[in-house]
Structure formats: structure tokens, C-alpha cells
Structure 1
Amino acid sequence: MEPTQPAEDLILTQQPPASELGDPEDPGEEAADGSDTVVLSLFPCTPEPVNPEPDASVSSPQGSSLKHSTTLTNRQRGNEVSALPATLDSLSIHQLAAQGELDQLKEHLRKGDNLVNKPDERGFTPLIWASAFGEIETVRFLLEWGADPHILAKERESALSLASTGGYTDIVGLLLERDVDINIYDWNGGTPLLYAVRGNHVKCVEALLARGADLTTEADSGYTPMDLAVALGYRKVQQVIENHILKLFQSNLVPADPE
């Protein structure tokens, strides 16, 4: 078991938008480069030819990235202990949410009012952090505790967009049950559907389309969800979108019942 990484590992850092990760929906696949960094971008780039259907996770505009600590990776692989107690005491409520440390998170929330929706320096709440890192039990707990899923960070990042970015379909479903705006956009014009497409998250794309996500929305880069799928060569995502369009077309052709 490796010692816990410093708290700084949970901050947003600038990196070139070139990292490609395995899809969280498919735990059998490892990240192509072993990295835990998730990069967000809505400009298509040529995927590295590692797999026939690469699964790319993306994060925020201009190459901002969310980086897991080594401890978080170990925890997700099934280790029982995720951090040393002495280190946990030094973590903020946002870092505890990102790492899924529920016991310590509960203790923090009992210390004062309104901590559940407390923003950090970028406007990220504990719920946004937990959603970004796929910590579904933490997301569920925070929602039950009263976390507001409608809160936007300083650059209009949302819990839904970041969950879609990582392909965390179950979390997307939990948030949509709270009537969040499925077409919420950030300062880059990105929507949850656009980020799910850019990440090649097939199941997440299906879930968003089934709930009525807008296929016509363009990012500031000018790309619609279909444009991104085609440009990146994500054939499965493209097929999902095509099938959805066909269903919409067929539903409009159904004749009205005779009176």
C-alpha cells in the first residue's frame, strides 16, 4: 500500500489535451498510458491507435485536468484502506468527497451549516468533486444530505457535465432524477452530451439521449455531438446517435389515431 499523495493532487492543473483514458464503463480496460489524468476538450484530435475503439475520457476546456491521487487509484482497485488517518485529518471537505472518504466527510458536515454546498476556489462543491471522480456512494450521500445538484462552478462546470465527462452513467442518472438541466452548458459551450461523446462513453450517450438531451447544440468549436463522433471515428457513439435520430424520425411519421 502506497502512502497518500499530498492534497495538491486533487487540484486542477494545466496539461496539453492529449491524454487518453479507458472508459470507466469498462473496468476491464486499463488507461492507455497508465495515467489518472482526465482532460476536457471539445476540439477533436486524432486518438492514439492503441485499441480499435479507443475510450477517451475528457475533462475541461483549454486542457484543464482533474488528477486522481495514487491513493484514490488504489482504493478503486479494491484496497480496503485508502489513506492514513493522520493524512485524512488534513484533507478538505472537497478532497474527502473526491476520494470517497465517507466517514470523514460526514464528520466535516456535522461541524457546521451549509458545508455540503461550500465551494472551493474554483466554485467546485463536494458534490461536483465526487461526481467528477465517479464516487457514486458519496454522490448519493451528498444528495440525501441536501447537496444542490444545480450549482455551477465559476466557469459553469456542473456535476452533470463532469459525470458525463467521466462516463459515470449511474451518477448521471442520479443527477437527472433531481431535475438538473440536461443541456446545461459551460463557458466553452460544452454540454453533458457533448462531453460524453468526446469521451466515447457509449452508455452515457445512450442515457442522455433517452432523457432528451439536445442533439443540435454546438460547442464554441462548432461541433455538434454527431460532428464530434464522426471526426473522432467513434463508430459506436455515431451508431447510437443515428439510431436515436431514426427513432425520432419514425415517431414523427406515426399517423394520428382516427377520431
Structure 2
Amino acid sequence: MLNPETRKLIACCLLLPGLLFSSLAIAALPQMLEAMFNDINLGDTGSVEDLLQHGVDPDVQDEQGYSALMVAAREGQLKVAKVLLAHGAKVYKRNQFGETALMLAAYNGHNVLIDLLIAHGADLHANRNGWTPLMYASYAGHTATVKQLLAYGEPVDARTSAGLTALMLACRQGYIEVVELLLRLGADPNLKSKNGQSATQMALANGNTDIADLLLQAGAQEKDSRGD
């Protein structure tokens, strides 16, 4: 954590007219981000509020493109996220991987944060590789989050740039409850990725024979139980 003197220096750099791009302000930026992101990780809403009131941009991003709201979403810090949104943090910002705060919340199963972000205008669009929030939740095995995102209208069979679906990702990772839910809500077990693999083949390739059996029971068309 940064000491109060350092925080004041950072705030002064950001408040002084014409100093935003000076060497002093640029040098202070990593420290400012460190201070804010540490406070977010700790859920220290008071310190985050203090930095924002001293002129820190709520949308400032680190070298990987992570914003304060993204960090709050990733860490499940609901109160901090509310403070950032109240100060105008933008829900549509993306990091260098094309990920939004909503995607990070979905990957970590922070359902209340998902509701908050969508209420503030976060969309369900994919990143540059075609991954949607639903896919992040399916890949990480968060059944309740998958159900939540489908209720918000995410297409169950949306595809990544590689042709992967949420069902395929859950099969590959071995999350049978997610697979059961996706199948129950209409996921197609017969779709194939761009390299020609089905969800059943992905399940078998990763040793998830129980999931492969479930897919076959749901109507997956495979030549035999090995997916050959």
C-alpha cells in the first residue's frame, strides 16, 4: 500500500492543469494504479473513493489494459464496483485480450456483479476471439452463472472464432452440471468446431466419459462410444 504522502503526490499530479502528460505525472501513474488496484483487491471503498475525489480517472488502465472496474469485477468487490460506476466508470472498456468487466465477473462466478454491470449497460458481446461471457462461465464451471447469462439472452450455441461453443468448453473442462444445464436449455450436441471436433470427442479426449455418455443420451451423433 502507498503511504498518504505518495497518494497526495499522485492526486496533485492529476489535478494540476497541463501536467497530465508531464514526466512527473507519467512517473506517478504506475504508483497511482498500484494504489487503486490494491485498494480494490482489499475492498477498501474509502480509499478508492478518496483517489477518485482527488481526480484519478476511474477508467485509467494498466499496461495490460485492465481498468479499475475490471479488477473489481474479477475480484468480486461489489461495493467498490458501485463506487466506480457512480464516478462514471465505463462498462464497455476492454483489456488487451478483448475482455470486459462482465467477462471477468462471469469467469469468476460473481453473479451479483453481473447483474450490476448489465444494469449499467454492459452488453453480452464477444471478445475478439468470439468468447462471450457465457463461454467464460462455462469454461470455469459456474453453473449458476451460466443459467443467469442465458436468462439475460445469451445465445446458447454462439461460437468462438475457432468454432467452439459453451457446451464444448464445459465438456472439455469436465463440468457435468454445466453440460446438463446447457443441454436442458437447448445446446446442440452435434455442432463441431472448425477443426471438426464434436463436444463428445472433446469430452473423451479429456477423459470425461460420463459427459460423453450424457451427450450420447441427449442425441449426439457419433459412430461409436469413442467418437470415431
Q: TM-score, structure 1 length as denominator? A: 0.58
- Equivalence for 1:220: 194
Q: Does 1:117 align with 2:76?
A: no
Per the TM alignment, residue 140 of structure 1 is displaced from its structure 2 partner at its CA by 2.5
Distance 1:98 1:199 in 2: 20
Listed as ranges, the matches of 1:2-21 within 5 Å are: none
Higher helix share: 2
Aligned residue type for 1:240: L
Q: Does 1:187 align with 2:187?
A: no
Q: Structure 1 residues 85, 221: closer, same or farther in 2, change over 3 A? A: same
Report the RMSD for the aligned CA atoms in angstroms.
2.5
Mark the structure with the bigger radius of gyration. 2
Distance 1:88 1:181 in 2: 39
- Using the aligned pairs only, state the percent identity: 25
Q: Structure 1 residues 84, 164: closer, same or farther in 2, change over 3 A? A: closer
Gaps of at least 5 residues in structure 2 are 2-39, 52-66, 221-228
Structure 1 runs (4+) deviating above 4 angstroms are: none
Distance 2:144 2:196 in 1: 29
Q: Does 1:161 align with 2:120?
A: no
Q: TM-score, structure 2 length as denominator? A: 0.65
- Equivalence for 2:175: 201
Within the candidate set 46, 49, 74, 1:98 is matched to 74
Distance 1:111 1:84 in 2: 16
Gaps of at least 5 residues in structure 1 are 4-80, 247-259
Count of equivalent residues: 165
Distance 1:245 1:217 in 2: 12
Greater relative contact order (CA < 8 Å, ≥ 6 in sequence): 1
Aligned residue type for 1:148: D
Within the candidate set 190, 211, 229, 2:203 is matched to 229
Distance 2:74 2:115 in 1: 13
Larger deviation, residues 103-112 vs 118-127? 118-127
